[in-house]
Amino acid sequence: MAKKQVYSFGGGKADGNAKMKNLLGGKGANLAEMASLGVPVPPGFTITTEVCTYFYQNRKKYPPGIKQQVEQALRKVEKIMGKKLGDPKNPLLVSVRSGARQSMPGMMETVLNVGLTSKTIPGLVKQSGDERFVYDAYRRLITMYSDVVMEKAAGIEPKEGRGIRLQLEELMNELKKKKGYKGDTDMTTEDLKQLCSRYKAKVKQVLGKAFPDEHTKQLWGGIDAVFSSWNGRRAVSYRRIEGIPDEWGTAVNVQTMVFGNIGENSATGVAFTRNPGNGENKFYGEYLMNAQGEDVVAGTRTPAPVNEDSKSEHNKTEVSLEKAMPKIYKQLFQIQKKLEKHYRDMQDLEFTVENSRLFMLQTRTGKRNGPAALKMAMDMVREKLITKKDAVMRVSPAQLDELLHPVIDPAEEKKKTPIAKGLPAGPGGAGGQIVFTAQDAVDWNNEGKKVVLVREETNPEDVEGMRAAQAILTARGGMTSHAALVARGWGKCCIVGCGALDVDYSKKQFSVDGMTLKEGDFITLNGTKGLVYEGQLPMMDAAQENKLLNSFLKICDGIRKLGVRTNADTPEDAKKAKQLGAEGIGLFRTEHMFYGKGSDEALFVLRKMIVSKDSNERQKAINELFKYVKKDIKGTLAAMDNMPVVIRLLDPPLHEFVPREKARLEQLAKELNITLDELAKRADALHESNPMMGHRGVRLGVTYPEISRMQIKAVFEAAAELIKKGKKPYPEIMIPVVCDMKELALQLDIAKEIYKQVLGKYKLKKIRHKLGTMIEIPRAALVANRIAEQAEFFSYGTNDLTQMGFGFSRDDIGGFLPDYLNKGILPQDPFQSIDQDGIGELIQIGIERGRKTRKNLEIGICGEHGGDPASVEFCHRVGMDYVSCSPFRVPIARLAAAQAALK
């Protein structure tokens, strides 16, 4: 091992630096870095992790020469501080703390106030002029030391509840009770003196040894105990979970104690180099005069602002640090500037002023919210503090998401307890009055009321009501259930699978956890977290920085390799997505044209087609349907002019389209000239036990090629007419639910034949297009080499690929997913983020085999995973050409793709 085992820091110098984390641990390395920057840190020294390793390899013995090295380092500290450990007149107190390479919060031990003995107490009393403060510090030392050093490190395992710490606390509680005190602060100096004597007697009685009244003994006891705590039960199990190797060891930091609670010239506080709430480049912080660090966090006293910029409603009458201690403030201000420049990021600082002397106790990268993250990153690029690439990595996709939706005011949300939790299906916050039917949602909305639609689950008939509602809440369904899919597509706040909800449609109420809420009552949803609150909570619009957001996303576009398209079914959605940066449509679900506003006529014709009994009747309905389909496709191709638009042929779960309402059934029977009974029979015949694996997608086209023919003709004619108008449509026709090359070939043959016919009809030479397929059935991924003989592009339908790969119904997983997550079977909902081990493997196999057959095969993803950052990174890694997601997630995908390219 190296000869040097102890590294000093303080007084503007340090033996180590921030890069030496392996040897000095994270804390030691950063303290060294701050010290060499000339930042006033309480001086101290670090005993290396190598010593820890030696300690364990040599039956808890230290390497030779270490005592002298510690001695020397201690002398340096004493020189800087002008105090001495154990000096009766001017005693130095130190802390002894752990510090591993990687932070292990609370897993190892700490001893504070080392150096307080019967010899040094009078000196400290004189020095501080505060006897009570000294005895309070002594009481804490005895408690910590006896617990950490004399009991834990000595390997004593007391019976439950009989540990020395608890026994000492019992003594204190007895005293407080006897005197009728409420808090620790009620105890007088005399009380504390008495308590310290009792503590020492108790330690002797319980542990059979006296509390050491000698400073060197205390110091080495502390060092021993911290090294020993590396192999304490908590630390060992934490290492197992986090995968931290045992041989890393911990370093020990011995550092001067500084006190912010010894009079009016002392203070303690926390600060940020920029405002973490809005990102403004203004120094921001709070402090308390005559206080300890924990007082600032505890909330028992109102902290004062450090300067004018930090004033708020709550603290505007308090005196700022800038006014109270102008010199100290100036010094602090310069230090924060220096630290931010050095670390090139916003820093979260802790400081203490002891008798008009400033000390920095900590600096670390500060946490921030979405708007602040964006503003800081862009400002720092302008200030040339960071590069554009750095800026891209500084904003997380979750922070960007915060910018795109109104959210519940976080300060207000903190005060409330949710009444239920479900799956976070549509982000942002929203609230309103509860309604239980789609029709009520529409009616109430027309009356100017804001409503939340609460359903067991939703189906296509509810779409208008879903549109009218501020938010949607369902008791059943998973992340790809109807409600989730539709809401996400609109960027609407939505919670699904909220199993605790007991919905009673007949009484127009739901109950949850013993509480009943009725129609008209107010609720508020946090769709980002899946939390439901009773009542109205105030909202906040986070998307004020649009200009900034756009320039940030432009930077992302310059870096990413993946294309970003959108899943959109209407020209409005397509336009919205284009504004948000979509470069095409990755999935146009044609059946969605039959939902929602203005879809009644088309839906009626579709229903006729579905329940038609023979090909004659069917062909008639198909001919009628043609104009609706063509119009819809044309609108979207026009909106996305010159960009690829993947149009998927009908993939309707047929049963969803059979009407349920009596009036509609009667209308349909009348139009078909059949009785209601006959209609019921035909509808029954469509019933499938397992419609998700039923007669859908390409299977429909295999049985009824005329349905495919009509749609393909609609696509090519729509494109031809746009070309005639000087536009540049680019359709990509996609066949869903394919499992074999031959079923695809049948459909594509139809497409090729119709293409020729349309060219002839419009006298065109060419319509730019592609013919391809979805890969959403596991078998299709395995036989991708054959499928690629036919397909010019693949689009991964990871909703169905996950459903069929796992055998989990995408609509029912909500019922048992919580058990799978709680028991650690699944790390996350596989319908939200791609299961990279299993489903990911299928995707990779499909890509590899597909590209073996066709080198320039275009490959994308159009399942809901296309907007999930971890899945986007996966898509980048496996070499896809693009991802496609709902319009509101396009910016997130742009960021995630850029980050993937930089990782």
Under rule CB under 5 A, which residues in 748-787 are in contact with Mg ion?
A: 776
Query: Strand 563-567 to strand 882-885: parallel, antiparallel, or no bridges (unpaired)?
Result: parallel
Residue 732 and residue 860 in contact, taking contact as beta carbons nearer than 8 Å = no
Instruction: Name residue 107's amino acid.
Output: M
Is residue 328 near ligand PEP by the rule CB under 6 A? no
Nearer to ligand PEP, 93 or 862 (CB): 862
Phi and psi of 533, rounded to 5°? -120, 145
* Of 482, 592, 865, 876, catalytic: 482
Residue 653, token pair as written in the block: 């779960």
CA diameter of the chain: 108
Of 199-207, 391-399, 518-526, 794-802, the window that binds ligand PEP (rule: CB under 6 A) is 794-802
Task: Please report, as residue ranges, which positions from 562 to 591 form the binding site for ligand PEP (by CB under 6 A).
Answer: 587, 589
> Among residues 413 and 829, whose Cβ is nearest to ligand PEP?
829
Closest CA to 422 of 479, 382, 384, 468: 479
Q: Give the burial class of 125: count Cβ atoms within 10 A of its Cβ; 0-12 exposed, 13-18 middle, 19 or more buried.
A: middle
Give how far Cα 187 sits from Cα of 162, 182, 193, Å: 25, 9, 10
User: Two tokens at 591?
Assistant: 């059946």
Per CB under 6 A, does 228 bind ligand PEP?
no
Is 153 a residue that touches ligand PEP (CB under 6 A)? no
**866 is a contact residue toward ligand PEP (CB under 6 A):** no
Q: Is 481 in the site for ligand PEP (CB under 6 A)?
A: no
- Interface pattern 644-663 for ligand PEP (x via CB under 6 A): -------x------------
Sequence-ordered alpha helix ranges (H) in 37-183: 49-57, 66-81, 121-128, 131-145, 164-179
Q: Which is nearer to Mg ion, 659 or 866 (CB)?
A: 866
Please state, in angstroms and rounded to a whole number, the distance separating the CA atoms of residues 862 and 568: 11
- Select the binding partner of residue 862 from Mg ion, ligand PEP, none (C-beta < 5 to 8 A, by kind): ligand PEP
Active site residue 52: no
Residue 560 interacting entry, from ligand PEP, Mg ion, none, C-beta within 5 to 8 Å by type: none
- In the complex, minimum distance from the CB of residue 819 to Mg ion, in angstroms, rounded to a whole number: 26
What is the C-alpha to C-alpha distance for residues 716 and 768, in angstroms, rounded to an integer? Answer: 10
- Which entry of Mg ion, ligand PEP, none binds 599, CB below 5 to 8 A by partner kind? none
800 binds Mg ion per the rule CB under 5 A:
yes
Closest by CA position to 781, among listed 851, 883, 830:
851
3-state secondary structure of 59: coil
Report if residue 866 touches Mg ion, rule: CB under 5 A.
no
Q: Which of 863, 867, 869, 891: binder of ligand PEP (CB under 6 A)?
A: 863
Length of the chain: 903
- The tokens describing 116, both together, are 């307080």
Q: Which is nearer to ligand PEP, 272 or 588 (CB)?
A: 588
Task: Give the pairing type, strands 531-534 and 91-92.
Answer: unpaired
| Cβ distance to Mg ion smaller for residue 393 or 782 | 782
Contact status: 776 vs ligand PEP (CB under 6 A)? yes
Q: Among the candidate windows 234-242, 448-456, 722-730, 791-799, which touches ligand PEP by CB under 6 A?
A: 791-799
Residue 873 contact, options ligand PEP, Mg ion, none, Cβ 5-8 Å cut-off depending on partner type: none
Helix-then-strand count for the chain, H and E: 35, 34
Q: Could you tell me how far CA 885 lies from the centroid of its own chain? A: 18
Beta carbon nearer to ligand PEP, 425 or 587 = 587
DSSP state of 212: P
Does residue 224 interact with Mg ion by CB under 5 A?
A: no
In 527-599, where does DSSP find H-type helix?
A: 546-559, 571-579
How far apart CA 502 and CA 624 sit, in angstroms, is 43
- Min dist CB 709 to Mg ion, Å, is 22
> Binding of ligand PEP at residue 123 (CB under 6 A)?
no
Q: Give the type of residue at 492.
A: K
Give me the long-range contacts of 555-559 (CB less than 8 A, separation at least 24). Answer: 555/381, 555/388, 555/391, 555/392, 555/898, 556/392, 556/894, 556/895, 556/897, 556/898, 557/581, 557/894, 557/898, 558/388, 559/388, 559/389, 559/392, 559/898, 559/901, 559/902
Question: For ligand PEP, which stretch binds (CB under 6 A), given 350-358, 618-626, 792-800, 839-847?
Answer: 792-800
Tell whether residue 867 is a contact of ligand PEP (CB under 6 A).
no
For Mg ion, which is the closer residue by CB, 591 or 800? 800
Q: Is 862 a catalytic site residue?
A: yes
Phi then psi for 119, rounded to 5 degrees?
-75, -40
Q: By CB under 6 A, name the one of 747, 798, 833, 886 that touches ligand PEP.
A: 798
832: helix, strand or coil: coil
**Alpha-carbon distances, residue 66 vs 60, 72, 433 (angstroms):** 13, 10, 71
| Candidates 261-269, 400-408, 421-429, 797-805; binding stretch for ligand PEP (CB under 6 A) | 797-805
Of the listed pieces 278-286, 288-296, 297-305, 796-804, which binds ligand PEP according to CB under 6 A?
796-804
Closest chain position to Mg ion (CB): 800
Contact between 163 and ligand PEP by CB under 6 A: the answer reads: no
Q: Considering only CA atoms, give the Rg of the chain.
A: 35
Q: Is 862 in the site for ligand PEP (CB under 6 A)?
A: yes
Provide the β-strand partners of residue 350.
270, 362
* Nearest CB to Mg ion, comparing residues 172 and 739: 739
Mask: binding to ligand PEP, 589-618, rule CB under 6 A, as x and -?
Answer: x-----------------------------
Q: Which of 862, 865, 875, 885 is catalytic?
A: 862
Burial environment of residue 173 by CB neighbours within 10 A (0 to 12, 13 to 18, 19 or more): exposed
Contact status, residue 781 vs residue 775, Cβ threshold 8 Å: yes
Per rule CB under 5 A, count of chain residues that contact Mg ion: 3
Instruction: Indicate the residue among 221 and 805 with the shorter CB distance to Mg ion.
Output: 805
Q: Identify which range of 188-196, 363-371, 723-731, 798-806 contacts ligand PEP by CB under 6 A.
A: 798-806
Q: Which stretch binds Mg ion (CB under 5 A): 96-104, 309-317, 453-461, 800-808?
A: 800-808
Residues that bind ligand PEP (CB under 6 A): 587, 589, 651, 776, 797-800, 862-863
Q: Which residues are catalytic?
A: 482, 862
